[in-house]
Amino acid sequence: FVLPFIAGLCDCIENILHILMLTGFMDITDFSVALSGSITNTKWLLAFVSIIAIIVMGVKKLASKKEKAVNEI
């Protein structure tokens, strides 16, 4: 499951872009702001999808354990 790692990579890229813009090494243009914003949105989307996937997998695991316990009785 690689989504959290891709989200972490997006976070690193976002931070680098912010540092470049704040230090004046990179001009603050509409494109640089849009790029940084897009990476931020991608990061949070991947983080949200990862959390939902973890919840779904946990619920499935609990349901299968419960079903297994019922079948053993």
DSSP letter string, 36-59: HHHHHHHHHHHHHHHHHHHHHHHH
Q: How many residues does the chain have?
A: 73
Quote the pLDDT of residue 26.
Answer: 86
Residue 44: CB atoms within 10 Å = 13
Quote the pLDDT of residue 73.
Answer: 61
Which residues does 26 contact at the CB level (< 8 Å), separation at least 6?
Answer: 17, 20, 32
pLDDT tens for the chain, 73 residues: list them: 899 999 999 999 999 999 999 999 888 999 999 999 999 999 999 999 999 999 999 999 998 887 776 776 6
